[in-house]
Amino acid sequence: MALERFLKDGKLITIPRKQKAKEALFDALSEKFEFDRDYSEKEVNAILAEVYDDYAILRRYLVDTKRLARDDYGHHYCRIKLEK
């Protein structure tokens, strides 16, 4: 899936509507995080803000699609393997 049409100068212009394109985007975003490493919410936000101004929605999508896990308080995040 070519994500370039959703990007301009390396920044995401819009979140794709089609599920297949969304999945490809979320896969690409999850690759910005290392396995076996804890990230603070501030670190996650900084990484995602490089891609899209509304980093909070991207963070929610990554958690909702089980690409990132977070603690009950939303302070710590980690990348998890996506089960397909």
Residues 20-32 have a mean pLDDT of 93
Check whether 60 has a pLDDT greater than 80: yes
Check whether 74 has a pLDDT greater than 90: no
Is the pTM here over 0.85, yes or no?
yes
> What is the amino acid identity at position 49?
A
Domain assignments of the chain as residue spans, ordered by start: 37-84
In the block, which residue shows the tokens 């998890």? 80
In the block, which residue shows the tokens 């599920």? 19
Q: Which two tokens stand for residue 25?
A: 């985007």
- Cα 8 to Cα 5, 12, 14, 17, distances in angstroms: 8, 6, 10, 17
In whole angstroms, give the CA distance from residue 12 to residue 72.
29
